[in-house]
């Protein structure tokens, strides 16, 4: 390989999701269940706050850590929702999406050779980001039998003297799994026993359809070994604003702030001002509630519809994804997704794009218009009857 390019970065394969978007983009009349973002426009009251900020001419950098009022609003909301307190100065950082927070967390803790345990299937960026930060990803397949939750025994079996952290994400992309308390306690026990850091990506925290979200840092003994990754993209339909945050112990957050300072300076100012409204205006809270209700109706439509056509879907309890088992088709996940888009023009993402444990499944996002989901079910029904 040429020396022009970093070997470490070149070795990371491109995202398996892109391939399907690229194919879908060249076709007419495709129903896409492939993209993982809300189909809502950001609620009016939040957009207006961004526009007002621009009208006032607030176009400069903010403090590196983010506007103080926003950091205060974040910690207040987190305390109110989940009963755990953070300091808005030392323990809070406003970032460019949850994506940046995740990257900073890994940059802040990884020394060469450190291993990060990653329950999979998982968000496509995790393994790549661990590699970029100089660490070694250690994937662990989760299974439908444990509702795609990682068990303490699985983690324990993967721990080595080089293990540094566990990277978890519940509610989960791509499975829709959430974490039951018994599994949380098992993860916490492994982290405590081996002195590991837990990076908990809770970007879908408000998108729970059964029960309340529990933040991982609220577990006994976990607060100072957990880095919380949070965001506005999913809960508030703000993907394009590029805003997220990190909460965690002051020593780790100080190092994350340093990387952020040198690489980013500060998160987008307009987005930060809008996010204050997202967290503090009751109309924004009403919007979160009604968007969730709408996802929930579409979740039922898709999951029940899939079951009716013979694609058993595990019951997703959070986020906005269904992860049906497609083995009845006799195809691999890749073949299923390719043939489905080719014959019926429905785009979904093959499970293996999300790592170990994904074979035999595909991800379908139900943040898609109801009539599109109905039409997709029609087409998939035909498809399964033809191939099943
Ligand atoms: C699990 C998970 N974490 C993080 C992100 C990144 O989100 P953001 O838009 O906040 O960078 C996503 C986006 O799809 C995600 O699914």
| pTM score of the predicted model | 0.96
Residue 132 has pLDDT above 80, yes or no: yes
pLDDT > 70: percent of the chain:
99
pLDDT tens digits for range 98-129: 999 999 999 999 999 999 999 999 999 999 99
94 CA to centre of ligand 1 in angstroms: 15
pLDDT score, position 250: 98
pLDDT tens digits for range 169-200: 999 999 999 999 999 999 999 999 999 999 99
Q: What is the mean pLDDT of the chain?
A: 95
Are 177 and 317 within 8 A, CB to CB? yes
Alpha helices by DSSP H, the chain: 7-10, 16-25, 44-55, 68-82, 97-109, 125-132, 152-158, 181-193, 250-263, 269-280, 282-308, 333-344, 370-387
Q: Which residues line ligand 1 (CB under 6 A)?
A: 36, 97-99, 123, 169, 173, 201, 203, 231, 233, 239, 244
Q: Of ligand 1's atoms, which has the minimum distance to the CA of residue 172?
A: 1
pLDDT score, position 2: 66
Report which protein residue has its CA nearest ligand 1's atom 7. Answer: 98
pLDDT score, position 1: 54
Residues 6+ apart with CB under 8 A from 96: 242, 243, 244, 264, 267, 268
Q: Of ligand 1's atoms, which has the minimum distance to the CA of residue 244?
A: 10
In a mutational test of the pocket of ligand 1, which residue from 21, 93, 123 has the highest number of ligand atoms less than 8 Å from its CB? 123
Residue 299 has pLDDT above 80, yes or no: yes
Mean pLDDT value of segment 80-84: 97
pLDDT score, position 17: 75
**Pick from 21-25, 226-230, 335-339: least confident:** 21-25
Residue 206 has pLDDT above 60, yes or no: yes
pLDDT bracket for residue 28 (50, 70, 90): confident
pLDDT tens digits for range 33-71: 988 899 999 999 999 999 999 999 999 999 999 999 999
Q: Rounded CA gap, 383 and 339, in Å?
A: 9
Helix (H) or strand (E) holding 166: strand 163-169
pLDDT tens digits for range 255-272: 999 999 999 999 999 999
Residues 6+ apart with CB under 8 A from 258: none
């Amino acid at each position: 390989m040429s020396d022009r390019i970093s070997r470490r970065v070149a070795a990371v394969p491109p995202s398996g999701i892109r391939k399907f978007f690229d194919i879908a983009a060249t076709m007419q009349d495709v129903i896409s269940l492939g993209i993982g973002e809300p189909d809502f426009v950001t609620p009016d009251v939040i957009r207006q706050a961004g526009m007002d900020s621009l009208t006032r001419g607030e176009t400069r950098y903010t403090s590196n850590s983010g506007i103080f009022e926003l950091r205060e609003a974040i910690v207040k909301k987190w305390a109110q929702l989940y009963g755990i307190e953070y300091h808005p100065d030392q323990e809070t950082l406003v970032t460019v999406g949850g994506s940046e927070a995740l990257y900073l967390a890994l940059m802040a803790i990884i020394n060469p050779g450190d291993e990060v345990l990653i329950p999979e299937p998982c968000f496509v960026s995790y393994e790549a980001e661990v590699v970029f930060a100089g660490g070694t990803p250690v994937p662990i397949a989760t299974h439908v039998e444990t509702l795609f939750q990682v068990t303490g025994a699985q983690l324990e079996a993967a721990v080595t003297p080089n293990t540094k952290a566990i990277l978890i994400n519940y509610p989960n992309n791509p499975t829709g799994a959430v974490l039951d308390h018994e599994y949380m306690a098992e993860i916490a026990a492994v982290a405590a026993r081996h002195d590991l850091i837990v990076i908990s990506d809770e970007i879908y925290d408000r998108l729970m359809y059964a029960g309340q979200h529990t933040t991982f840092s609220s577990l006994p003994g976990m607060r100072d070994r957990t880095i919380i990754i949070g965001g506005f993209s999913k809960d508030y339909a703000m993907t394009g604003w590029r805003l997220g945050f990190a909460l965690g112990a002051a020593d780790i957050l100080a190092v994350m702030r340093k990387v952020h300072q040198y690489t980013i300076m500060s998160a987008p100012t307009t987005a930060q001002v809008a996010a204050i409204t997202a967290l503090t205006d009751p109309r924004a809270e009403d919007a979160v509630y009604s968007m969730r209700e709408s996802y929930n109706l579409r979740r039922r439509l898709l999951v029940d519809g899939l079951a009716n056509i013979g694609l058993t879907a595990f019951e997703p309890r959070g986020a906005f994804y269904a992860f049906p088992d497609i083995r009845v088709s006799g195809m691999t996940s890749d073949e299923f997704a390719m043939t489905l888009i080719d014959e019926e023009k429905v785009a979904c993402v093959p499970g293996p794009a999300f790592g170990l444990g994904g074979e035999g499944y595909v991800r379908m996002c139900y943040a898609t218009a109801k009539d599109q989901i109905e039409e997709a079910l029609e087409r998939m029904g035909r498809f399964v009857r033809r191939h099943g």
